[in-house]
Structures are given as structure tokens and as C-alpha cells.
Structure 1
């Protein structure tokens, strides 16, 4: 169960491209990652954001593939994933697709990297997208806090202290000097010697090698161009900062230097140990004594042996009053940890890394290796902490224990002018926080994680599994992986939302320990229901579920207070999220009818919880379980609180055709979600609407993002929202109003009628068959589990997927157009969630 996956096979092509090939027959998808050794800090200083701008431009037209045939459109048609990221000294381009589509994806990726067209008209459009991104990032807490360090760190010309994101004012695309700089940057760095290609796939190594040689070999030949080394970053003295941002966060920034290449794995290990919530750990002490709800380590910068680390504490509304206790406690724990014996901790960590790697999808695997390898790097080991990583950890701890730091506290308002042409951070220097003289500790290293051990044989009586709990096979199978869902309904008295927060808080130690064992645990509120979900490695899941059920049945006495604290923290965190993400998180519950519950407080919550469990009715679903794992799960199911239910969930139909909810989220931008549920649950209807989603997705993105330039957070597609399925259209715009956004969406839908009517029969048949083929093979265990769970909630037939695929393969154009008309007529209802009031009288 803990064996590591094999490291990649490495080779170098004649043109200088380094290649890493990951072959794993258990994978069901394929992925590619290209890492370019050039990032934001390598761009000309007179044009901040040029590297980020080039990343955007590469996804547009290339010599061999125009935009509608390029990588973005290709991967969308494959129902895959595609993205890119420009970092300080590297840029990453990556995608995941079905195995048969890796060839076409790799051809497009290499062509766009080597031969972009860089048309001026496209640059003008894309500059507006970067401007919208800049405006959104200007409200991001991490971004503002990191930018504030320029006030106190030296030298001023260190690239970490500069501005590199780019916006309209730093990208003068109309000037020939800028065009020369853009072309020169691309020619200098976007060549084979500066790149690493990582492929992860179940295909044999010989096939992967042939793909890499055929497509990667077309990249321009070259040798690695050494990147400039930055000057030493200095912090003359410890100091405090106040930054105007989402209040309630304390960040301790420290500088590290002379670090070996293995510093990354050492920092990962330190972050894992720091965030542990076990008794005797720093997180547990801070939560109880300083009102700190969360603690984690972030690394904003690491390059050439230098690093900036941030230890971040969520201190809540009390702010400085709580923060004063965090600083001495952190350094006291750090002294303890530096002197401790890490042998058992390291053993468990290495085992955890190996387990998590086993269930990682190909893209995550490929990206992890792309992080470890690169044109400028030597050979490195796989996951876990190597011996050299332990030496790096000791060097890191020695430097952090010097206590040279920046204490940065976010506050609601700061009386200062924003910074210059970079991010508009408002900050002032302040004294260090006064130390709260309080006894810290006693500290203890966490005990062994029981979920990491091999499970014992099933023992004890097996319960008769109720009809409300279903067993599903996974086809194709994901060896060693499984999922389980449990849902509780409360027919007599709906459960209070605060109880859900209390139970979620009580579950956190189980959630974290399970994550180390490659099991994801979720506890969600869906309307008035509670849903517990487990995904990942099958063998630890029965033990994890048993521990989770014990927490839910008899939570700790402090769970109520922790739940309230957790609720408040989540609200503050949500307030700092991208607007469109906040709307997506609220969509499933936005149209639920609110129910009244009895008042519950700290004095009666345990009695109220007991009443809930007495009246609860539960059902569920397990996917991928077999043999001994199934036997152990059956035994655990006898511990589920409540009584089994025979009533399946009812699919909800909207009572009103046009419904609008104002999310009442104040923001400088407008976000709007239009969700159009299916008008019925027939497989034929879902088949047509899924195909509509496939047809509309690239056209919607192209029209509203590229042509109308409404913003950069724009997407559409077929989605599940709560118990419903349908088409979702999402737009966040810095300039357009809700009325304008909705008008653009409706105009787009009107215009697409002619496009759909003109679809050639052959093209329609190819798309339908391709979509049916993709639905019949899930890309991941998580996707398969979510599908079957949503189908269960929607009360579809057992063979719904088979009927759906058959309907897709026989779908004709007249049927598609009839369902498109049903979409336009809102036969299943239209639901809008926006941070704006309804735009006209048809919306209720």
C-alpha cells in the first residue's frame, strides 16, 4: 500500500529538449506539462507583465492551428483540462485528456509554444483580459501582503519586490519597442534548451518516447540560457506592518538563504508538521488559547538558494489582541521542533506521500515532476523527504529560529496612499506586536496516523444493508480506489446550520489525517440535508468512515465554539474570494426554500444534536468496493446514526419559470450565473442538452471573452447543481452590468440557433459519438463517483448511463434543435444568481 510509483524515464532530444516519461498502466487519462525556464522576473524591467502577457497570447492563433482549432478548443472538445501559469522564474503549460487525444494535444501545445502568430489585434484584446485579472488580483489578500514587503525589505531592485503581473499601462503593444521586446523574449527563452516536457500516461514507454520525439523535436533547437541571479534579499531589522486587506490574518515573513535544491521538499514537510491539529501541536494550542482558527505555511518566493516564507495565522476579528499570543508560541514550538527526533514523523510522511501519489491523476503527477525537474536542475528524488532534504530542513529551522521577521497584520483600513504602478497596496509600518506572556506548550509531536497502517481483517457481525444504501461497480475500474456517500435527511425537524458547522469542526482532525492517507473527506450541507463523502484509496476508507461517524455521533465538547469560529472564518475567507467563485459556491442553495429551526446555542446544542440523530433518515452509495474492503465497510455501516430510509430523493422542479436571487455581495465588478435545469429526467433530454453544452462552450467563451472582452472569468457547460442537472453560463465583468451581461448571453443564444441549424450531419454525428464514448469512460474515480451520486439524487434509473450513451449515438439535428428551443423557452426554468437586483419584471 505504501510503495512509491516509479520515477520517470528521462532523456534529452537532439534539439536540447529534456523529456521525462511517466508510464503507469493504472492511469486512464494522459497528461502533458511543459516547463519553460523563464518567468515574470526574466522579462524586461521596462515592461512588467510581458512574460504573463506572452503566456496568454500563446493560446491564440499559431501557425498550424487557428484559435478555434488550437489547444484550448481542442481540450474543451475532449472534456479535458488545460491551463498555464507564469511564475517568478518559470512558466508552465499543461493539459489532461483521454489517452487517444494526447497526440493531438501535444501537437497543438508544441506548435503554439514555437510558432505563435502574435497578431496585434489579438494583443489589444488580450491586454484587456490582463487588465481585468489585475483588477481582481488587486483585491487578493496574498497579493497585497506580499507586495507590502517592498516597504521593508532590501534591495529595492530585487525582483521579488517588484511588480510583474502587468496591466494596461505596462503593456504598450502599439509601440514597436514593445513588439521587439516581446519577440526577443519569445525567441530567447521559448526554445528547446530552455524547456522540459513531462508526459504521464498508461501508454507504453516506446509510444510516449515516439510522441515526445515527433512533437517535441519540432521545437526550435537551443541551449539553456542561464537566468540572471538575483542579489541577496535582506531584512535590516524585524518590523511590523499593517496592510489594508481582508482583516483577521497575521503573517510572519522570514528570509532564507544558502538553501540547497532540496529545500522544496523540506518546506513541504515543515508545512505539514506545522499545520497538524493533534493534541500537543501548535495549531491545537493556538485555537484554544489565541482564537486562531487555522495555520499554514506559504512560500511566496524561492529561487537560487533564496526563499521567502510566510507562516499565516487566521486570528479573527480580535486581530492584534489574538495575534500577540501567536508569535511567541510559534517560536517556542519552532525551538521544540528543531530539537525533536523526526524519525517516526518522517516515516509517516514518506508513507503518506507514496499513498497520495498512487491516487493522483496524471496531470497532478506530471506537474509534480515538472516542479522537481527542469532545464537548469540536476537529478532529484521522488516524493517524501530525502537525506539531503533533512539537511535542508535543519538549515531552514536554524535561520527561522533567529526570529528575524516581518509581522504583517491585515486590517480594515490604513491611512496611507496606495503604492505606485503596481498593486494598489495601502500599508504602514508599525511596532512589533506586544508579546503576551503566557506559558506555551507543553509540545508533543503527533502520534502515528492510524489511517496509514494496513487494515486488519474484518471482524464482528455484518449488518443487513438497507435498500437505501446502494453498491455500484466502477467501469472502467480504478484499481485500489473507491468512494462512499452517506446522506441524512431530517423529516421531522430540519437540522440547524450551526450544528452542521459544529460537526464540520469536530471532523477536522479526521479530515486532515485521512488526507494524509489519500482519502478526501467532505461534510456538506445540501439544503436541509447533510452529506458525508469519502473518495480515494479504498483500503483506509472503512477505518476513516468509522472515525468520522464517531465524531458525528459524539462530537467533542468544544465543537460548538470551534464551529462558530469556523463559520466566521469561512465567511471572512469567502469575502476575499473571486466573485464568480463565491456565486458558484452559493448556487446550489440559493433557490432552496428556507426552513425555520428551533433556536440553538452553546447551552443546548448537544441535546439538539441528539434529537436530530433520533429522527434522521439515512441512505447512501458506495462505488468501487470489493472483497475485504467491502466487508469492512459493511461492518462500519452498522454505526451510522439515524434510521435507514426507503424514500429516495425527489428531483425538484422550479415552481416559477424565471427566478432571480440577488446574492447581495458588494464588489466593484458584476458576476452573473445563469443556470438552466433540464425540463425532465429522460435520458434523451439529457443527451441533447449535454451535446448543446459541448457545442456552445467554445463559442460562448470566444464571443463573450475574446470578442466582447467582458472579462476573464467566463465559461459555460453542462453541470450538476445540487440535485439538478443542466446548462450553466457564468460571467464576471469589471465593466458590464447584470442587465448587459444577461443581454449578451441571450443574444448569444439567439445567434447560435442558426449555427446549430447549419451543423453538418457528419460533424454532429462525430460529436455525439465522441461525447458518448467519453461519458462511458470516466476520467477519474472522483468523476465516476460524483456521476453516480448525482444520478442517485436525481432518482434516475439504474441503467441511465447506458440509455444516455445510446441516445447520444442516435441523436439527430432536428431533435437537437427541438431541445435548443426548449432551452430558449426556459421549459426547465431559468435561474439567475448575481450580485445585482433583477433586471426586469419577468424575474421573481
Structure 2
């Protein structure tokens, strides 16, 4: 269509004017499958900007990363950078309302967040693509004209303190707390990143804190230390016009950072032990190394992490597992900063491994010595180069909000052309650099941390109350670590057989949705050749349906042990496949066993054959079984140490869905299970099965049929299993609930409010309400009332059963008070929070969410498989919901919602964890209490999709 002369001339003038405020560069290297338009700019104020134009997206997104973090906190205001992150959201000169930004983002189908780390503060959001311009107008104001209103200082200090309290039992933070006490006090790493009432206020008052906050903002927030990334539907010139004027207003104070030159640890070797909250045992061996991030084309620490963290035959983990000493191992660069880095080897030990921790430590140094002597090889580096190249060329694009956040951070480390490629660039083999780094990993430079629950420490850390003690290695131990005696079976990795070589795209006509190509009553196969993403990759999903898989807690525990046995047996074999971009998952489900393969399709058949054969015929090894059983028991026991709000969310699923058994039920069941019982159980399950298989991606129909033949050879039983529908509990009218005793000081309350009838109509009614309620609930109970860091609410559908739910974890009040506030909020919202304008805005936002297209092949596959498992064999669940949404007017919605929320007929489930304040009387009954059984139909039933039409 021809543009009018006036419009065309104005557009040309706009481009010329905006270009005056920026220096463009369009040379960013993209993956071969990425057709988006990308532009790099450096504004006149020295702010780096990347613009990405993608007309196909449903969500636009933006992120701004500032090279400022907790290292810059004043010693007497630790947590100040994090506190600033909180305060920045609470109003600007142009948009002074503290809740306006969140409300705008949420009501237009988006989300937002931020994080503070040692050297970075990162702010990001996504939103319905049509509203990017308005969102950027609000976002830019944070960095040019924030208010930092005095009235919010006290509230946000409490919010930061609540965040600290909510994570005070997190074992990662607890271990970090101990290490910071032992590290060099002159190193900024030792500062407290999160902050609390003591470190932020320190008895000096809110006015003084606000002044220090303003000073910190002036001293550290500068355009030349910022990177901005924006993804939108608009073309690059239009995106540039949105950005240049707004973000050019950010002041360039021409700030720079100095390199940290003091050592992280003054004297090594350092060894210390600490007591965790959870049932866990871990050995960590770390080394302080130079900062090599600028040499990202060489990636020497990635190379070393690959060799030490390998899990294949001959690896350190493989040998430790054979001895029954370890469950897992991680190796690689952890903490990296301007001036240094820490390379870490962490081993998850069994009780037997902890008893042999001195020998395990010796083996770590043996593995390092093996690399020092023969591990630096060109062919090994080239193998990683080939894998990285494939990962980049066929990159799985993340969600927009995650992509902008990561790329904004990358702007500080990679050249503009390598903004996306930098994470994958591994092209320059530098054997001398690798050798120098591994040679520096000597016993006398080691930092050794031992985590064990049996410890009785001599000291207690100040911030997280961790019991610990320092146990310096003796001269004899140090000498032993230096002597190399060799370890039987320890070897460097062999060549990887799973690296894809056939990257061709299958010929043939693609389809919009999967279609069933096999329908026998025993086996159902769905196939879709995906031409939208057109990648040499695919999703292969298999459900081995057997209703006896988890009809009681004992069977569910046995299923979990069986599956874990198989995963453990296959780990050494499948690890190379995972490295090469071919991953799998094997899970025990309520209705059988779920198997998924995803990644490059070239070698999937080889992996499927191994998985299916091992699942049908595991190696029933008693030593492996006992180790796997102890690991499962430990995982169940550790669920008691989960954050209360997470525990309650998991408990809600168990309360609502039949054949989901509680942690306590499964823990009791697993104790009595031996290998003989689990083996018999697996044979029973496999005797009566049906197979559901979906091949979506770069597969021909003959590929899908061949996959089905392989699966059937191993996994199809002799009999057709009995029908067993999924059952979702129907909550009766009234107040029901459950209390949980957890080892956490915070109280937590979850309110689940179910609609009386299932179906699309009720789901839309509750979905719009949830869209509206979420921001209002957060603003009132979190921002205004400061009840806790964890506050959220919204819609909670389970299959076709809709509901609303509200959750708060609080360090300042009990569950009875929370219940009053939940009810008061909902009553007030019904009276004053419902109006047609707000309804219409949130109705449109929900429509955007429902019609949001998958961003990558994996999201598309997940949607198709979820639809199939939910019985939508036409794969149109979202379209059906949108049809109902489009026909629902405000008056109808309001009438039907208020009928559901009528106080006298509410169907409420209250789940509480009392914390230090104890369990409170919430006036509830247990769901299965007297008089409930048989009063009404207790469950909504959902059948599996038929395999034969």
C-alpha cells in the first residue's frame, strides 16, 4: 500500500531526528534460524541499547541492566542496592502513584520483576505487544525521575526484611553466610546482599536512610553503566523512536568501576564445616582464579567444568557412585566478578560418602591431577566447539522477558556483534591458558566446605544462625593431597557419540496440529511435522498408561523408586546425549509412567531404544536400590523444610486431586519397600498398559510409527488396563481446611475458593476475576499492609474446575489475622474493585494470554501434549475458551462471579502453616470429616482420550 506523501515525510523526519541521538550498528550475529531484525545503539548519554523487531510476538518486553550491585553498598548500609531496587518501583514524577506501574503491566497481560546481585541490578517486564510504547514511557521514568517517596521508606525496609526472613532457612544462603564470615573482610563479597532492618536502618531512622538512598542513586546510577534491550512488534525505526528520547534523559555521570584486587580468602587452604537445615551432605572444593570473562571465545572454565563435571563412564561421579558415596556432582565457574572468579566442585554425598569424606576429597584432587597431566587436548575442545555451534545455530529462543533480561546483562561483557553468540562462542583453543588455570587448582589453594546435619559447631553465623566450625587441614593431610596415587577406573571422557550429524529438515507438508496416525485401542500415535519452527529437533512424548501405577501411596512410592533406579542406571549413558542437546525425562505419574525426549532428532531413536529397554528390564542391583531409596527418603524428608508457601501450594494439589498422596503417606510407604517388592510392582504395572505417543517436530510419519514400534516392543503389556478417570475433588459449601507443622518461623495461609460447577464458562468468569484480583491483592497486603514478601493471588484452574486462590507468607502476623484480611479484601473488592472499564481492560489482557503463541518448538509441543492429555483431541482448548470470553459481557460476568463469591455458599479450602505463632483456629472442617462422605458427589471425573475412534 502506498504511503501518503505527508506521512512518509514525517516518518523520514522522525528517523533522522532519532538517529541524531544514537549511533546505530546492525552487525549483531544471529543464529541461522533467527530471522528477526536487530539493531545496536549507543545513545549520546552512552547508554547501550539493543532493539529487536519481531512482528510475530504476542508479548513485547524490555530490560535494563545496571552494572551496580551489592559490592557498591556502603559498609554501614548493607543491602542498600537491593533496597533501591524495591523503592524504584514506587512512583516517578510523571507517574507518582506507587501501584500504577504494576497495575498497568498486569492489566495489559504482562508481568514484571527485578533482581540485585553482586555487580548487577536488572529490571525487566513483558506486556501485550500493543502496549509497549506506554509501558516504556513508565519504565524509562524509573531511571531518570524516580520519587523515592519518604512515605514508603519504612514499608519497603519491612519488605526487604520480610524477604530476608522468608529465606532465612534456605541452605544455599546459609552456606553463603558462613563463607562470608570466613572470607577476607576487605573484599566487598563479604557484604550482606539482601539487607534487613538492622543493616539498613541501624537505629539512624528513615530520613537518614532515604538520604543515603538518594546519594547512592546519584553516585552509582549512570547511563554509561546501563544496558537496555527492547523486543517489540514494531520495526526498528519505530522502536528506536520509542527509546531514544525517553532513555536519553538518563544522566551520564561517567562512572566506572575499579577492579577488585584483594584476595577473596586471605589464607588457604581453608576448610570449614556447617550444619544444614535439610537432610543433606555435601563436599565443596573451590579455587579462587582470575576473571577470564573477557576471553569468552576461549571459555577455559567451561572446558574444565566439562571434564570435572562429566557424568559418563570413568568420570569422578561415576567412580563415586560405584562406591556408593555420591548422588550427584556439579563443577564449573560460580561466583565471577571484576577481578576474579571462583571455580567450584560440589558433590552430593550419601551417608557412606560422608563417612569417607577424606577419601572423596583425595579423589577430587586425583581428578584435577588427571586433567593437569593429560586433559588439555585439541579434540576435546573441538567437540565442545561443535556442540556450542549447534546450540547457537539452532538456538531455542527463550520467552521475551527472559531473553531481554539476559541480553541486557550480556551488554556489559560481550562485543555488540556477539550479544547473542557470546554465550555460545567457544572458538579459540588456548591450551596454555587452560593449563595455567588447572595448574592453579592445587591443594594448598583449596577452599573446602563440608555440609552435614550431624555437625555440632563451635560458632554461629550472625545473619542466618548457622552452626559451623573451622577445621584447618593438618600438615599430613595437605601432604597426602599432593601425592598422586591414582584412582582405579577414573578416566577422562570418551568421544561423544550423540552429536547430531544429520541436520536436514524433513520433506513433506506440515500441519497446524498433530493428527492421529495409529489407532488400535492399545496404541495411539499422533504425528505433526512442524514447519513453523523448521528445526532439526523434535518433541517425543510417551505415556505408558497403567491405572495401577499409583492407586495407593505404596504403589506411588514403588513407582518412584522404579523410575529412579532406571534414571540412575542410564545416567552415565544418557549424559553424553544431554551434552549434545538430546535430553530426556522419565517420571512416575498418577496414571502411569511418562517419558519425554526432546532435542536434535538425529539420534533420538538410539536413546529411545535404551530408555524403553531399561525401563522394561532394569538392572536390579541391590547396592543401587539402597542408594536410590535413601535418596528418595531424603527428598521426602526435606520437603518439610520447604518455604511454607511452596509447601502449601504442593499440599493444595494433593488435597484436590485423587491419587496424589501426601509427603507423610509416601514417606511411611517407602520405608517398608524392598527391591523385591518394587520389582514385582514394576512387572504388575507393565502387564496391563496402553501407549499414548506424540511425535512433534522434525519427524516424518514413518518416524512416528517406528518410535511406536520400539516403544511397543518393550512397553506394551499383555492386557488392556481398566479405565481410571482423573478425579478432581469437589469442595462442598462451607469452610474446610488442613494445618501443617513446618520447621519455619513464618506463618503462611492459602485460601482456595472453588466455583460450584466446572466448564469453560466458569473458567472464564474466574479467569477474568483472577486477572483483576492479583495486582490489587498484592498492592493491599504486600505494598500497603506489609504482611510479608510472598503475597499473590489469582485464578487456579485444575482441569476444567476453576477457582481463585490467595497466598501470603508472613513474618509479622498469624494465620487467623491473615484469614480476616483475606476475607476483608475480597469483600471490599466486590464492593469497590469491580467496574466495567477495569473489567474490559483485564478481559483483553486475558484474551492476549490465552491466544499467546508458543515461542519455540518446546512450548508448542508442551501445549499439544497437555491438550491431548486433557482430552482436547482437536488441540483447540484455548480457542474454545476465547470463544466463551468473546461472548461474555460485563453484566453477565459480574452476576455470575458474585453468585460464586456469595459468602453463604462459598466453597473454601484453607491451608495453614502456623510457624512460630502456632496453628490457629480458622473455623474449618477436614474435607473427609464426619457427615461429608456421600453428602454430594465428591469428585469431578475426567477420562483419558480414547485411543480408537
TM-score (norm 2): 0.79
**1:538-557 alignment runs, 5 A limit:** 545-557=608-620
Partner of 1:257 in structure 2? 290
CA contact (8 A) 2:308 2:367 kept: no
With 714-723 and 115-124 compared, the bigger mean Cα shift is at 714-723
Partner of 2:441 in structure 1? 400
Determine if the alignment matches structure 1 residue 308 to structure 2 residue 342.
Answer: yes
Partner of 2:716 in structure 1? 642
Query: How many matched pairs?
Result: 836
Using the alignment, how far apart are the partners of 2:903 and 2:597 within structure 1?
A: 39
1:129-185 superposed Cα distances (whole Å, 9 cap, x missing partner): 11111123332222222232245433x221112323210112227354432221121
- Cα distance change, pair 543–581 in 1 and its aligned pair in 2 (3 A): farther
CA contact (8 A) 1:773 1:805 kept: no
- Cα distance change, pair 516–346 in 1 and its aligned pair in 2 (3 A): closer
Determine if the alignment matches structure 1 residue 120 to structure 2 residue 154.
Answer: no
Gaps of 5+ in 2: 1-29, 508-515, 928-949
1:703-758 superposed Cα distances (whole Å, 9 cap, x missing partner): 1111221111111222355785533322211232232223322221122111344x
Q: 1:357 aligns with which of 395, 401, 423?
A: 395
With 357-366 and 717-726 compared, the bigger mean Cα shift is at 717-726
Determine if the alignment matches structure 1 residue 491 to structure 2 residue 562.
Answer: no
Using the alignment, how far apart are the partners of 1:388 and 1:4 within structure 2?
A: 26
Using the alignment, how far apart are the partners of 1:601 and 1:625 within structure 2?
A: 41
Q: 1:64 aligns with which of 91, 94, 103?
A: 94
Q: Give SS of 1:229's match.
A: coil
Determine if the alignment matches structure 1 residue 613 to structure 2 residue 725.
Answer: no
Gaps of 5+ in 1: none
Using the alignment, how far apart are the partners of 1:299 and 1:97 within structure 2?
A: 34
- Cα distance change, pair 453–690 in 1 and its aligned pair in 2 (3 A): farther
Q: 1:819 aligns with which of 877, 894, 897?
A: 897
Q: 1:30 aligns with which of 40, 49, 60?
A: 60
1:86-114 superposed Cα distances (whole Å, 9 cap, x missing partner): 11122111223343333333222221222
- Cα distance change, pair 279–649 in 1 and its aligned pair in 2 (3 A): same
Q: 2:411 aligns with which of 370, 373, 396?
A: 373
Q: 2:566 aligns with which of 503, 506, 510?
A: 506
CA contact (8 A) 1:59 1:67 kept: no
Q: Give SS of 1:406's match.
A: strand
Partner of 1:225 in structure 2? 256
Determine if the alignment matches structure 1 residue 530 to structure 2 residue 593.
Answer: yes
Using the alignment, how far apart are the partners of 1:716 and 1:334 within structure 2?
A: 49
Mark the structure with the bigger radius of gyration: 2
Q: CA deviation at 1:691?
A: 0.4
1:395-420 superposed Cα distances (whole Å, 9 cap, x missing partner): 43221145521221123353434334
Partner of 1:95 in structure 2? 125
Q: Give SS of 1:464's match.
A: strand
Q: Give SS of 2:152's match.
A: helix
Using the alignment, how far apart are the partners of 2:884 and 2:681 within structure 1?
A: 48
1:441-484 superposed Cα distances (whole Å, 9 cap, x missing partner): 3313144152634379999xx98345674748799955547545
Using the alignment, how far apart are the partners of 1:414 and 1:636 within structure 2?
A: 54
Determine if the alignment matches structure 1 residue 385 to structure 2 residue 411.
Answer: no
With 167-176 and 706-715 compared, the bigger mean Cα shift is at 167-176
1:612-659 superposed Cα distances (whole Å, 9 cap, x missing partner): 11123343556x547x34542332123332357795844524264544
Using the alignment, how far apart are the partners of 1:573 and 1:2 within structure 2?
A: 42
Determine if the alignment matches structure 1 residue 139 to structure 2 residue 204.
Answer: no
Using the alignment, how far apart are the partners of 2:224 and 2:67 within structure 1?
A: 9
Q: Give SS of 2:76's match.
A: coil
Partner of 2:242 in structure 1? 211
**1:754-769 alignment runs, 5 A limit:** 754-757=831-834, 759-760=835-836, 762-769=837-844
Q: Give SS of 1:242's match.
A: strand
CA contact (8 A) 2:562 2:679 kept: no
TM-score (norm 1): 0.88
Partner of 1:581 in structure 2? 646
Partner of 2:492 in structure 1? 444
**1:278-317 alignment runs, 5 A limit:** 278-297=312-331, 299-317=333-351
Q: Give SS of 2:692's match.
A: strand
Q: Give SS of 2:888's match.
A: coil
CA contact (8 A) 1:716 1:727 kept: yes
Q: CA deviation at 1:701?
A: 0.8
Using the alignment, how far apart are the partners of 1:354 and 1:826 within structure 2?
A: 58
Using the alignment, how far apart are the partners of 1:784 and 1:183 within structure 2?
A: 46
Q: CA deviation at 1:15?
A: 1.5
The root-mean-square deviation of aligned C-alpha atoms, in Å, is: 3.8
Q: Give SS of 1:603's match.
A: helix
Q: 1:73 aligns with which of 83, 87, 103?
A: 103
Q: Give SS of 2:211's match.
A: helix
Q: CA deviation at 1:37?
A: 1.4
Using the alignment, how far apart are the partners of 1:557 and 1:175 within structure 2?
A: 64
With 84-93 and 723-732 compared, the bigger mean Cα shift is at 723-732
Partner of 2:116 in structure 1? 86
Q: CA deviation at 1:812?
A: 2.3
Q: 1:168 aligns with which of 194, 197, 222?
A: 197
CA contact (8 A) 2:517 2:525 kept: no
Using the alignment, how far apart are the partners of 2:517 and 2:310 within structure 1?
A: 35
Using the alignment, how far apart are the partners of 1:702 and 1:504 within structure 2?
A: 43
Q: CA deviation at 1:507?
A: 2.9
Q: CA deviation at 1:17?
A: 0.5
1:117-138 superposed Cα distances (whole Å, 9 cap, x missing partner): 1112211111111111112333
Partner of 2:933 in structure 1? none
Using the alignment, how far apart are the partners of 1:320 and 1:197 within structure 2?
A: 47
CA contact (8 A) 1:772 1:806 kept: no
Partner of 1:41 in structure 2? 71
CA contact (8 A) 1:34 1:370 kept: yes
- Cα distance change, pair 152–769 in 1 and its aligned pair in 2 (3 A): closer
CA contact (8 A) 1:486 1:621 kept: yes
Q: CA deviation at 1:498?
A: 3.1
Partner of 1:331 in structure 2? 365
- Cα distance change, pair 732–826 in 1 and its aligned pair in 2 (3 A): farther
Q: CA deviation at 1:56?
A: 0.8
Using the alignment, how far apart are the partners of 1:828 and 1:447 within structure 2?
A: 62
Q: 2:908 aligns with which of 830, 835, 842?
A: 830
Q: 1:802 aligns with which of 856, 879, 882?
A: 879
Using the alignment, how far apart are the partners of 1:361 and 1:538 within structure 2?
A: 23
Partner of 1:662 in structure 2? 739
Q: CA deviation at 1:330?
A: 1.7
Using the alignment, how far apart are the partners of 1:275 and 1:808 within structure 2?
A: 50
Using the alignment, how far apart are the partners of 2:591 and 2:911 within structure 1?
A: 20
Q: 1:464 aligns with which of 499, 515, 518?
A: 518
Q: CA deviation at 1:492?
A: 4.8
With 511-520 and 407-416 compared, the bigger mean Cα shift is at 511-520
Q: 1:652 aligns with which of 716, 724, 728?
A: 728
CA contact (8 A) 1:55 1:84 kept: yes
